C-alpha cells in the first residue's frame, strides 16, 4: 500500500513531537503535540505510526516500571532516566555510572542495562510558596 501524503505528514508530526519533547513521551502527549501540526490524527494513528517508526529503528520504547510505555528517538547515546513522583515527568540523565559487571555472579557477563531513578524533580522538590 503506497504511503499517502497525509500519512507522511502525520508521520513527520509524530516524529517531531517525540524529538521536540526532549525526553520520553507518552502516546497521549504525542497525540496532543501532533494535533497542533496536522489535522485528523487520532490515538489509533499515533499507535500505528509509533509501531512503524519503531520497526524502522527511528524511535524506541522506554519502559518505566509500572507505567505504560513512552517513546524517545532512537540512536541517542546511552543514558538513564529519572521519573518524578511529583509531576510524573520523565527526564533523561546524561552519562552512566554503570560498573555493573562487578555486581553479577562470577562467570556472568553483563551486556546491557537500563537504569530508572525515582524521586522528585527540582520543581517538585522545592516546597511551593503560597
Q: Judged by CB under 5 A, does residue 125 bind Zn ion? A: no
Q: Judged by CB under 5 A, does residue 121 bind Zn ion? A: yes
Give the orientation angle of helix 43-55 with respect to helix 5-21, to 10 degrees.
80
Instruction: Write out the three cell numbers for 47.
Output: 499507535
Give the angle 25-73-42 at the CA atoms, nearest 5°: 50
Whichever of 16 and 67 has its CB closer to Zn ion, that residue is: 67
Contacts of 86 (CB under 8 A, 6+ apart): 120, 121, 123, 124, 125
Whichever of 25 and 46 has its CB closer to Zn ion, that residue is: 25
How near is the Cβ of 41 to Zn ion at its closest, in Å?
Answer: 28
Q: Judged by CB under 5 A, does residue 98 bind Zn ion? A: yes
Whichever of 8 and 61 has its CB closer to Zn ion, that residue is: 61
Listed as own residue / partner, the contacts of 53-58 with beta carbons closer than 8 Å and 24 or more positions apart are 53/11, 53/14, 53/15, 58/15
- 30-59 residues near Zn ion, rule: CB under 5 A: none
Instruction: Write out the three cell numbers for 126.
Output: 522545592
Q: Judged by CB under 5 A, does residue 86 bind Zn ion? A: yes
Stretch binding Zn ion (CB under 5 A), from 28-36, 45-53, 77-85, 101-109 = 77-85
Which residues would be at the binding site for Zn ion (CB under 5 A)? 84, 86-87, 96, 98, 121, 124
Amino acid at each position: 500500500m503506497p504511503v499517502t501524503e497525509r500519512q507522511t505528514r502525520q508521520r513527520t508530526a509524530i516524529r517531531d513531537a517525540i524529538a521536540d519533547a526532549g525526553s520520553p513521551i507518552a502516546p497521549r502527549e504525542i497525540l496532543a503535540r501532533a494535533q497542533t501540526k496536522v489535522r485528523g490524527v487520532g490515538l489509533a494513528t499515533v499507535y500505528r505510526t509509533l509501531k512503524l517508526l519503531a520497526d524502522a529503528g527511528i524511535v524506541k520504547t522506554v519502559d518505566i516500571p509500572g507505567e505504560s510505555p513512552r517513546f524517545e528517538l532512537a540512536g541517542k547515546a546511552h543514558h538513564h532516566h529519572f521519573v518524578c513522583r511529583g509531576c510524573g515527568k520523565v527526564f533523561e540523565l546524561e552519562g552512566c555510572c554503570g560498573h555493573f559487571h562487578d555486581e553479577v555472579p562470577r562467570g556472568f557477563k553483563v551486556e546491557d542495562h537500563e537504569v530508572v531513578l525515582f524521586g522528585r524533580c527540582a520543581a517538585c522538590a522545592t516546597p511551593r510558596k503560597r
